[in-house]
Structure 1
Amino acid sequence: MKQTRNWSVLLGAAFLMATSAVGPGFLTQTTVFTQTMAASFGFVIGISIILDIGVQLNVWRVIAVSEKRAQDIANAVLPGLGLFIAVLIVLGGLAFNIGNVGGAGLGFNVLLGVSAETGAIMAAAIAIAVFLVKEAGKVMDRFAQVMGFLMILLIVYVAITSEPPVAEAVQKAFLPDQIDIIAIVTLVGGTVGGYITFAGGHRLLDAGIKGQAALPEVNTSAVSGITVASIIRIFLFLAALGIVSQGYELDAANPPAAVFQLAAGNLGYKLFGVVMLSAAVTSIIGSAYTSVSFIKSFNKHVAKYENRVIIVFIAISTAIFVTIGRPVYLLILAGALNGLILPITLGTILIAAYKKQLVGSYKHPVWLTLFGGLVVLVMAWLGGYTLLQQLPQLFK
């Protein structure tokens, strides 16, 4: 019975991480890069998957063996660092959640014809309902799994109907015509950046899966999460490639919707609504849950009333979207912050992996440290560059 429960939790954590990553930005990002890079984008996806696995294994393993959340690990490395990281995560999570709510509103708009604002409120109500249940963790796990499988099935269907040049895609995945470093970093940041890095690791900790003995399970869950997100990314890439290779131009206002509609007509457009809604609602849940998990160490009332705080987080995100709309510059700044959060948090995790007071007798694999160090350096440079480029626009 325990084994069955563990598998449910492991899959739940994996899908929570994956569906947190697969939001409105993920869908748009993938189709836009496919349009600009065509089959060569497969190479970018391949490299980013390898880097993603390196990031997640580093983070999830150290959280498990230290039996502490990321902010508590950071405070043990350097007093005050945990609070600083928590503030970054919560602000970034709130900003991105506004985009997630907007994406959910668009999904309902496509499916039911209601306004994006009304759709956003309906989506927020679904997300809030998850946390009104006493066993919210189990409901969240199952909801993420069902929505994740649904997205995979629908995207695979659209990929088949778009008739992509699979042989060319496989060839260019290993011998690309062009390599876009910015695209690689964007995909890494979008899949394992910000709060997403810790969604699954914190979920496993809350479920009691921790300690060195649990590392095989932790590894399985981490790799499963990246695998799910990668499957969705690959088939969405193939769907978009099939359309682009036929000479169609994607609608700049909504590239992923154009892919679905051009591949499968009006049915495809409705399927896009389902995928967008599923991606957005699961991202709302993942963002709210993980963001609040970063502040409950600092206040016992937050820990005691965690579900209520999560509901307030979702309500605030929705209220900002409905009253103000999607604050473009806030999202741009949040995107740059996301690029900076990853090297700060991953760098902290790598230092913690070698502190005996945190990990005891645990020996962190050298290859994981090297992988993590590479990601820290690249993301720090490009995240800083992006932030410097975008900050002046905020004061125009």
Structure 2
Amino acid sequence: MATSAIGPGFLTQTTVFTQRLGASFGFVILASIVLDIGAQLNIWRIIVVAEKRGQEIANLVIPGLGHLLAVLVAFGGLAFNIGNIAGAGLGLTALAGITPEAGAVVSAVIAIGIFLVREAGKAMDRFSQVMGVLMIGLTLYVAFTSAPPVGEAIIKSLAPETVDMMAIVTLVGGTVGGYITFAGGHRLLDAGLRGRSALPDATRSAVSGVTLASIMRVLLFLATLGVVSQGLALDAANPPASVFKLAAGALGYRFFGVVMWSAAITSVIGSAYTSVSFIETFSAGLERNRRWVIIGFILLSTLVFLGVGRPVKVLILAGALNGLILPLALGTMLVAAYRKRIVGDYRHPVWMTIFGACVVLVMAYMGGHTLMVEVPKLFAH
């Protein structure tokens, strides 16, 4: 889940919003962490105790709702995966000097190769873990070399000069919105962790997943803050690359290539796996040929990128739109938590329900405001 969240959009959003908000972006990160944990803790626990995928639970709440949720999640996953493939290509461009298109094709072949391995689930988990450690280590180095004003970041994280609702919605959407929040929940089911006995595992995994993604977010925030506080300008065409290059020179640019590729390839894998886990229940044929459907999903994402490409603004928009899926998904799970035919005699903690309901209301309000007011401003410039 954490490495699915840390993709090209994650890197781009964090860099762009830090440049715009400065140290006050720390408050946005803190607010998003609270909302992320509130959403993911509820959804994963309910999925595990119900022993059903998100769309199956939604169909039991309201017939047909699961199909709608599956279409929204799969569509959002495809949109993000086009950006993930593009990001993988850009990463290899910085690392090896090849064209983004060639890098995208090479990355797609590697991702497909992981799903061709007999123990694809274990291979996917291990690969994601190694890439996650690598990303955090390299970004920590760049954050250190950029010498950010840590004291100012701490103060303004608690007392911001401005509160940007679009930034909060985009960050939550990019961390636990759309397909991402279900990535770990569905993976737990596939790994055999299900029923009430698995609730401690679900709780621990949900919190640790958000924590890992947030550590990466904070490190990139500090690295970017260190660069912009020196008055240095970021390249609008590739803001994250600018941060690494300005902070650590040519070596930093190579590090960016590794981080971008690692973030992108793990997100390609997570997006394809989770999106297909939603649509495979539409028919027995899809479920039987799950591996080939995942491979087809990756191929389609690659072909669309080769034909169209993706601008920075689209990645930010994708995060914001994924944030709009979250209130529907989480609200449905909270209703399911009180249906005995779905969760049996399990009693969902009241504080979690209240926490989750607050997340639904906050995200629905901020998501609606973002869609109606902020997104048109973004594309007007």
- Residue number in structure 2 paired with 1:258: 242
Per the alignment, in what secondary structure is the counterpart of residue 243 of structure 2?
A: helix
1:326 to 268, 288, 310: 310
Tell me the CA shift for residue 378 of structure 1: 2.6
Tell me the CA shift for residue 271 of structure 1: 0.4
- Residue number in structure 2 paired with 1:81: 65
Which structure 2 residues correspond to residues 90-169 of structure 1 after superposition, within 5 A?
A: 90-169=74-153
**1:101 touches 1:124 (CA, 8 Å); kept in 2?**
yes
2:277 to 272, 293, 305: 293
Is residue 2:365 matched to residue 1:384?
A: no
- Residue number in structure 1 paired with 2:155: 171
Is residue 2:18 matched to residue 1:60?
A: no
Shift in CA distance, 240/335, structure 1 to aligned 2, threshold 3 Å: closer
- Residue number in structure 2 paired with 1:199: 183
Per the alignment, in what secondary structure is the counterpart of residue 123 of structure 2?
A: helix
**2:76 touches 2:318 (CA, 8 Å); kept in 1?**
yes
- Give the residue type in structure 1 aligned to 2:171: L
Per the alignment, in what secondary structure is the counterpart of residue 363 of structure 1?
A: coil
Which structure 2 residues correspond to residues 356-367 of structure 1 after superposition, within 5 A?
A: 356-367=340-351
- Residue number in structure 2 paired with 1:51: 35
Tell me the CA shift for residue 175 of structure 1: 2.2
Per the alignment, in what secondary structure is the counterpart of residue 364 of structure 1?
A: coil
- Distance across 1 between alignment mates of 2:132 and 2:260: 12
Is residue 2:263 matched to residue 1:283?
A: no
2:356 to 355, 360, 372: 372
**1:90 touches 1:294 (CA, 8 Å); kept in 2?**
yes
Tell me the CA shift for residue 371 of structure 1: 2.0
Per the alignment, in what secondary structure is the counterpart of residue 26 of structure 1?
A: helix
- Distance across 2 between alignment mates of 1:113 and 1:165: 33
Q: Deviations over 1:46-68 (max 9, x none)?
A: 11111111111000000010000
Tell me the CA shift for residue 333 of structure 1: 6.7
- Distance across 2 between alignment mates of 1:176 and 1:384: 23
**1:333 touches 1:391 (CA, 8 Å); kept in 2?**
no
Shift in CA distance, 337/264, structure 1 to aligned 2, threshold 3 Å: closer
Q: CA RMSD in A?
A: 2.0
Unaligned runs of 5+ in 2: none
User: How many equivalent pairs are there?
Assistant: 378
- Distance across 2 between alignment mates of 1:228 and 1:49: 11
Per the alignment, in what secondary structure is the counterpart of residue 174 of structure 2?
A: helix
- Residue number in structure 1 paired with 2:213: 229
**1:147 touches 1:278 (CA, 8 Å); kept in 2?**
yes
**2:237 touches 2:312 (CA, 8 Å); kept in 1?**
no
Q: Deviations over 1:238-296 (max 9, x none)?
A: 11111111121212211111110011000000100110000000000000000000012
**1:292 touches 1:306 (CA, 8 Å); kept in 2?**
yes
Is residue 2:226 matched to residue 1:242?
A: yes
Per the alignment, in what secondary structure is the counterpart of residue 160 of structure 2?
A: coil
Is residue 2:164 matched to residue 1:189?
A: no
Query: TM-score if structure 2 supplies the norm length?
Result: 0.95
**1:64 touches 1:214 (CA, 8 Å); kept in 2?**
yes
Q: Deviations over 1:196-217 (max 9, x none)?
A: 0100000000111011111111
**1:56 touches 1:197 (CA, 8 Å); kept in 2?**
yes
Tell me the CA shift for residue 393 of structure 1: 11
**2:86 touches 2:104 (CA, 8 Å); kept in 1?**
yes
**1:95 touches 1:330 (CA, 8 Å); kept in 2?**
no
Unaligned runs of 5+ in 1: 1-16
- Distance across 2 between alignment mates of 1:80 and 1:393: 34
Tell me the CA shift for residue 28 of structure 1: 1.0
Q: Which moved more, 1:146-155 or 1:25-34?
A: 25-34
- Distance across 1 between alignment mates of 2:145 and 2:287: 48
**1:243 touches 1:262 (CA, 8 Å); kept in 2?**
yes
Shift in CA distance, 328/41, structure 1 to aligned 2, threshold 3 Å: closer
**1:39 touches 1:168 (CA, 8 Å); kept in 2?**
yes
- Distance across 2 between alignment mates of 1:349 and 1:379: 15
